[in-house]
Amino acid sequence: MTDPALPVLHVRPPRGWVNDPNGLCRAGGRWHVFFQYNPDSPHHARIVWGHMSSADLAHWREEPIAMRPVPGGPDAAGCWSGCLTVDAGTPTICYTAMPGTPENAVGCIATGGPDLRSWTRTGPPSAGRVGPPGAHTRDPFVVSIGDRRCIVQGHGGPGLTPQVLVYDATDLTDWRLLGSLLDGRDPVAREIARADVWECPNLVRIDGQWVLLVSLLRTAGGHSLLSGVRWMRGELDDGGPAPRLVPYEGGTVDTGRSFYAPQVLVDDGRALLWGWARELDRDEDWLAGHGWSGTLTTPRELHLRDGRLVGAPAPEYLAHRAESLPGSWPAARAPAFRLTTTGPGALICTGAEGAGRIALPGRAQVLVDGSLVEVVSDEGWRTTRIYPTASSSWRVDGGGTIAAHALR
């Protein structure tokens, strides 16, 4: 029986744990998304790099697992987040290798063939751990700054100032630390991006402007708290020993509690973002019964508008196999659908496991796929979860004029 809560048009296999998107690229006429994955359990443990590809950004094909932990190697405890670049014609993964505890992570690479299906570890770590005891450094992201290839990584720890470190990566087997691109003492960063660790930094050009995304990891009482994602736009100063970003504005990428750890692919000037949508308020019995946890979001096309970072669903995702739906319909007939509303209202899922209602602003586009709910409005993006069951049905209360389309 099909699990009505399982997203069917998004990046995630039918079983196991999924978190951060990694290694975004387009090659051979297909979009490729790698991701943090545990195929054996709906829990975060012994993470591998999963891989799916698509011709249309809506229908995904599972590919062979790209990398698994190597016993006795620097990634023995997990192949954590990173990115994919092309080095002199060779696809190359730059990733966080986890030998044990997170503060001992190092940076490593793997090289692959043109089909992106087989990967080979290459030599010793490209970058060692940085900072005092307890410091964390992870999530490499490749960016060209001037005529130099660089890598940025997130850094910080309990009681430490969060930073984005920048490395010279001319030689991908030897990342040379240049210094700090930005740290939490900056007044703009201090105001909008308070954290103990800045995870998953993305430094990209959007509409000709430098934009930095960071995911906020805070600690309290010995626990790690995923506290949202922020963006900052600024000027990049490449005149000193290390490039420095001087931000002058910023904000929240997505106001939903489910959203974290996005990665951006800039392809022919087009900036596409995928994020991780984590489960909300699911207990061990739910995870064991369903056998999966986490999904990636709808790909979003990013732009800067009037001092805001805005995103729209990739048009390819909306274009495929849409059909009109009546104002109310059984969930079993429409596991994935799109709504547009013109007035305030609420999306209701009867028979849901847990909360089955989400408020809608005056004008919105709502994307639903299984339990994944994404609301796009003038207020920005909000990613959340509603968990339908086999007996559930969906409706909108209020909402002004409503249009509904199934996505197949």
Distances (CA, A) of 384 to 69, 147, 260, 276, 289: 31, 40, 11, 11, 21
Whether residue 8 lies inside any domain: the answer is no
In this predicted model, which residue has the larger pLDDT, 178 or 2?
178
For residue 6, is it within any domain?
Answer: no
Domain boundary among 317, 342, 361: 317
Q: Are residues 355 and 301 in the same domain?
A: no
Model pLDDT, residue 240: 86
CA distance 335 to 131: 47
Instruction: Using the Cα atoms of residue 120, residue 123, residue 126 and residue 131 in order, give the sign of their dihedral.
Output: positive
Q: Are residues 146 and 262 in the same domain?
A: yes
Domain that holds residue 259: 16-317
What mean pLDDT do residues 327-343 have?
80
Q: What letter represents residue 286's amino acid?
A: W
Q: What percent of the chain has pLDDT over 90?
A: 88
pLDDT in tens, 259-316: 999 999 999 999 999 999 999 999 999 999 999 999 999 999 999 999 999 999 999 9
Whether residue 4 is contained in a domain is answered as: no
Give the whole-angstrom CA distance, residue 193 versus residue 191.
6
Mean pLDDT of 375-382: 95
Residues 114, 231 within the same domain = yes
**Is residue 149 located within the same domain as residue 288?**
yes
pLDDT for the residue numbered 328: 65
Residue 247 CB coordination number (10 Å) = 21
299/179 same-domain check: yes
* Residue 168 bridge partners (DSSP): 150, 176
Asked whether 112 and 86 are in contact (CB, 8 A), the reply is no
pLDDT band for position 332 (50/70/90)? low
